[in-house]
Each structure stands twice: as C-alpha cells, then as structure tokens.
C-alpha cells in the first residue's frame, strides 16, 4: 500500500494520496496487484498491457521496459548513489512498482518535498523538470515497469534550474 508523507502528515489512503499529489501536478494511480512473483518481464508487460497502452496513449509515451534492483545487483550502491542525490530529468519519470518498494521525494514547493513510498500496484509520474530523489527502503528491492517518451535520454540532471520548471517538454531519465 502506498504511503504519502507531507507537512508532518502521513497517509495510506489512496484517494487522499491521489488528491494531494494531483494538487502538485504529480499523477498517481493504483493499478492493483496481480500475479508477478517468478513471472518474466514479457509476461508482466502482458499482465499490465491494458493500463500500459492507456497511459502511452494518454501521455504520449513511446517505449516500455522493466528494471529490477536488489541485493545481488552488481554495483547496487553505485547505482543508488546516482538517484539519492536531488535531480531532475528532461522527460517524465514513470514508474509502476511490480515488486518491492521504493521512496520518491518529490519537490512540492521550494524546499518542501512530498515523500511517496511506492509499493506493488502503484503507478507514479514525476513530471519532466520536477526535482526529486529516490532510494530503496530497508527491504532493498524493487522491480518496476518504466515508460518513456524518448528512451535515448537517461541522464539525471543535478544542477537546479534557476527557474523551477514543472511541465516543460524534455527527454532523459533514470530510475
């Protein structure tokens, strides 16, 4: 179950999470949990195909894949270090959590962050240009579906823009 912490309040209520994130231009959906344990990437894409196709049509995404991070991942700490530092991308960061969990801290207003914990069944879209960071929970594992407008751009941008950009057209992404 997703969790949202903001301004000292914490909630697991999906409607409240959706409403609060929406207030700050961050789409959230709960697609629900389906059988995913020991299921191949190709089968997972089939299982969630209706939702994937809808989101691609609605928001213009052109590519989809899966990513997994866990204790046995080569250079896990090095990979995570890239995301724990505040950054943004020039494209939306779209993540549907299939297994495990992860925390996204997303800029709401200047120096105020929404702390969103994604769990299996949760879809979140961090808009292009929105500052954020990502880290694993103590479970140290996550498996996500990712959607992209342009898979060519994957870089995290660490320099804060002088003017906060919230919905400009960009490309580029990482986890």
User: What residue ranges bind Fe ion (CB under 5 A)?
Assistant: 93
Name the token pair of 27. 């789409």
Contacts of 9 (CB under 8 A, 6+ apart): none
The answer to whether the beta carbons of residues 84 and 133 sit under 8 Å apart is yes
Find the residue with minimal CB distance to Fe ion: 93
Task: Kindly state the smallest distance separating residue 130's Cβ from Fe ion, in Å.
Answer: 9
Task: Kindly state the smallest distance separating residue 61's Cβ from Fe ion, in Å.
Answer: 16
Q: Which is nearer to Fe ion, 14 or 86 (CB)?
A: 86
Q: Which is nearer to Fe ion, 90 or 141 (CB)?
A: 90
Task: Kindly state the smallest distance separating residue 112's Cβ from Fe ion, in Å.
Answer: 18
CA distance 17 to 7: 13
102-109: strand order across its sheet: 9-11, 3-6, 112-118, 102-109, 132-136
Q: Which is nearer to Fe ion, 46 or 166 (CB)?
A: 166
Q: Which is nearer to Fe ion, 92 or 93 (CB)?
A: 93
Task: Kindly state the smallest distance separating residue 63's Cβ from Fe ion, in Å.
Answer: 17
CA distance 144 to 35: 14
């Amino acid at each position: 179950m997703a969790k949202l912490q903001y301004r000292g309040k914490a909630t697991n209520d999906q409607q409240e999470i959706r409403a609060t994130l929406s207030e700050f231009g961050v789409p959230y959906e709960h697609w629900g949990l389906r059988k995913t344990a020991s299921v191949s990437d190709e089968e997972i894409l089939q299982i969630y195909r209706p939702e994937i196709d809808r989101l691609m049509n609605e928001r213009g995404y052109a590519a989809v894949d899966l990513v997994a991070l866990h204790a046995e991942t080569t250079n896990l700490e090095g990979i995570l270090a890239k995301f724990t530092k505040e950054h943004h991308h020039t494209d939306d960061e779209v993540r549907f959590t299939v297994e495990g969990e992860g925390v996204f801290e997303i800029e709401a207003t200047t120096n105020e962050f929404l702390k969103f914990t994604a769990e299996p069944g949760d879809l979140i879209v961090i808009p292009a240009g929105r500052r954020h960071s990502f880290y694993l929970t103590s479970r140290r594992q996550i498996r996500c579906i990712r959607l992209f407008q342009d898979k060519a751009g994957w870089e995290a941008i660490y320099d804060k823009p002088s003017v906060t950009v919230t919905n400009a057209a960009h490309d580029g992404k990482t986890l």
